[in-house]
Amino acid sequence: MNAKQGVKILVVDDEQGIREFLSFELSQQGYEVFTASNGAEALERIRAEKFSLVISDIRMPMLGGLEALEAIKRMEPDVEVIMMTGYGTIETAVEAMKKGAYDFILKPFNLEEMLTLIDKVLEKSELKVMVAVYEASKSVFSSIDLKKILPVIVKLSLNILKADDVSVMLMGDDGKLSVAACSGAEGDERLQAFLEIGNRVAGRAAEWKTPIFVSGPLEKDPRFAGILSMRQIKHSIIYPLFIDNELLGILNVNRMAQDVPFGPIDLRGLTILGSQISQAVYNAKLYRQLQDKMTALEQAQEHLIQSEKLAAIGQLSAGVAHELNNPLTGILGFTQILLQDEEITAKQREDLEVIQSQSQRCRQIVQSLLQFSRKQNPHKEPLNAVQVFNSVLKFVKYDVSKAGIELISELPETLPPIWGDSSQLQQVLLNILTNAMHALEGRESKKLILRAFAKSGRVVVEVEDNGHGVPEKHLSEIFDPFFTTKPAGRGTGLGLSISFGIMQEHQGAIQVKSEEGRGAKFILDFPVYGGAEKNSSVTKPQTLNEARRA
């Protein structure tokens, strides 16, 4: 692009010869030249057009050059003005400079002197843009968080390029563009239009690696035909964001209110700004990848620690259970023999029944310990999810009704098949439902909701109650072995730990969301049958922090 192409100059002089001379000579240099015969006419021109430079005589009828200079600077502070006169004095020159003129030239002048002065003016304008871009680059690099960077990029692009509309589209991991940030309204139609623009030029931009200029109404450009909501765009720069031949995204800069094409100075400024934006986006991408790796490392470490802790507790539990099992068997056996003796008194029978009841409770605890300590390999197969969940509902239906709980089932008629061990997954859901029923004790209105739905290739089950809820201080412990908030003698604290382990073994997930006094919601995430789930490395193990996330 010619450096002088698109540079508009307004020549203001009451002498027709001066106007015609400058108009011809400057047009020969490649400038776009307009003329006005007096200050009032010049102001009308400036209201209708955007100029890079005004060359004005000082002494003119109707509205003098100095008065016109003041009015021009009020209207367009960035427009540079060169004053010229054949009656110049030091006083008038100083006065013109005070009012904002760039420089002062005496008549008669030769063409080379005028061209040199014009070059200096345009160099100053370009330098101002470059300084603004430099200041902008500091703002862009002040953060490596894309959420903070993108609004800064939009704002700077609007200001530096004097644009009315800016959008930033970034390339996702799937190789598709999406609108990451934009100015103005963000309605669906407008965002879709941005995407259409980006997608239509992404291929060309990737191939050419150069910006695409659109001068004139966008609707008349065949490359963008049919994008209705973009009809109001008059001029555009569609700039590809590259780093090492990798297309990161598209920066789309538009002018709508002003009918002024983007010029060489805009391109040079955007080239520098675009490279800074590309580097900032790339840095943010690298930072996000580093964060993901650090998070994965932390989760793996946490999973290892938890697994070792569970293994150690499992070994201890197995030993304790083994030592307790034999004497318990003897106690229960002798108690049952004594109860069969018809000669014992009523008081003795009552005491023996208490011994039998408490011994059976101890046996249940021992069985739970053994179940926790034994890592059973599940027999996985495709399962009808609705049937699995309904079978658990039938099992608890009587207890729910007896406890006066309103059970709301929101199970659909069909769900994708899930992959797992039927008995183990039923045990998980049964544990969650049992906990929910216990949490409803003492509430006037008891409600328990079971819902299930398919989402993103998984089957999600939610068990929600309006019970007492889980205090925030206990959320970090709720899946730990032997932790329970139930009164002494009401629970072992192993149900949720066992459920957590089963869900891990099935490449599933379990989470809890709760507020004290406002109930709790347990969320189970089951793998859908499809073949890949047979590989245990497909889904990373769930960490306790993920499970406890509220």
pLDDT digits (tens, 9 = 90+) for 173-205: 777 777 778 886 555 566 666 666 666 665 665
Query: For 129-146, how does the pLDDT look when each residue is reduced to its tens digit (9 = 90+)?
Result: 666 666 656 666 666 777
Domain that holds residue 527: 377-548
CATH number at residue 81: 3.40.50.2300
Least confident of 30-39, 152-161, 504-513: 152-161
Q: Are residues 205 and 278 in the same domain?
A: yes
Domain end point (choices 114, 134, 154) = 134
pTM of the model: 0.44
Whether 213 shows a pLDDT value over 50: the answer reads yes
Least confident of 118-127, 148-157, 303-312: 303-312
Q: Are residues 381 and 526 in the same domain?
A: yes
Q: Which pair of tokens denotes residue 495? A: 């149900």
Of 71, 13, 16, nearest in space to 46 by CA: 71
CATH number at residue 449: 3.30.565.10
Query: For 505-547, how does the pLDDT look when each residue is reduced to its tens digit (9 = 90+)?
Result: 888 888 888 888 788 899 999 888 874 444 333 334 454 455 5
- Whether 304 is in a domain gets the answer no
Q: Are residues 125 and 147 in the same domain?
A: no
- β partners of residue 236: 214, 254
Cα(336)–Cα(348) distance, integer angstroms: 13
Band of the pLDDT at 364, cuts 50, 70, 90? low
Whether 422 shows a pLDDT value over 80: the answer reads yes
What DSSP letter does each residue of 272-333 carry, written as one string? Answer: HHHHHHHHHHHHHHHHHHHHHHHHHHHHHHHHHHHHHHHHHHHHHHHHHHHHHHHHHHHHHH
- Whether 65 is in a domain gets the answer yes
Which of the pair, 252 or 16, is modelled with greater confidence? 16
Cβ neighbours, 10 Å, residue 175: 8
pLDDT at 140: 60
* Number of domains into which the chain is organized: 3
Of 377, 415, 416, 411, nearest in space to 394 by CA: 411
Q: CA 503, 509, 515, 521 torsion: positive or negative?
A: negative
Q: Are residues 63 and 186 in the same domain?
A: no
Q: Are residues 117 and 165 in the same domain?
A: no
Band of the pLDDT at 462, cuts 50, 70, 90? very high
Query: What's the chain's Rg over C-alpha atoms?
Result: 39
- Whether 89 is in a domain gets the answer yes
- Whether 450 is in a domain gets the answer yes
Give the CA distances from residue 186 to residues 189, 199, 269, 478, in Å, rounded to whole numbers and listed in that order.
8, 18, 27, 43
pLDDT at 218: 62
Chain center to CA of 225: 31
- Whether 307 is in a domain gets the answer no
User: Is residue 467 within a helix (H) or strand (E), and if so which, with residue range?
Assistant: none
pLDDT at 533: 44
Whether 491 shows a pLDDT value over 60: the answer reads no
- Whether 325 is in a domain gets the answer no
Domain end point (choices 289, 306, 321) = 289
What DSSP letter does each residue of 100-165 carry, written as one string? Answer: T-SEEEESS--HHHHHHHHHHHHHHHHHHHHHHHHHHHHHHTT---HHHHHHHHHHHHHHHTT-SE
Q: Are residues 387 and 499 in the same domain?
A: yes
Q: Are residues 108 and 224 in the same domain?
A: no
By the 8 A CB rule, do 51 and 10 touch? yes
Domain end point (choices 243, 260, 289) = 289
- Whether 317 is in a domain gets the answer no
Mean pLDDT of 296-309: 66
- Whether 362 is in a domain gets the answer no
Cα(413)–Cα(105) distance, integer angstroms: 88
Q: Are residues 191 and 57 in the same domain?
A: no
CA dihedral 435, 439, 444, 448 (to 10 degrees): -40
Q: Are residues 521 and 541 in the same domain?
A: yes
Which of the pair, 256 or 414, is modelled with greater confidence? 414
Q: Are residues 388 and 523 in the same domain?
A: yes
By the 8 A CB rule, do 6 and 262 touch? yes
Q: Are residues 193 and 164 in the same domain?
A: yes
Q: Are residues 29 and 156 in the same domain?
A: no
Query: For 35-65, how does the pLDDT look when each residue is reduced to its tens digit (9 = 90+)?
Result: 998 888 989 888 888 788 899 888 887 787 8
pLDDT at 489: 45
CATH number at residue 225: 3.30.450.40
Average pLDDT, the chain: 77
What backbone torsions phi and psi does residue 81 show, to the nearest 5 degrees? -130, 130
Mean pLDDT of 15-39: 89
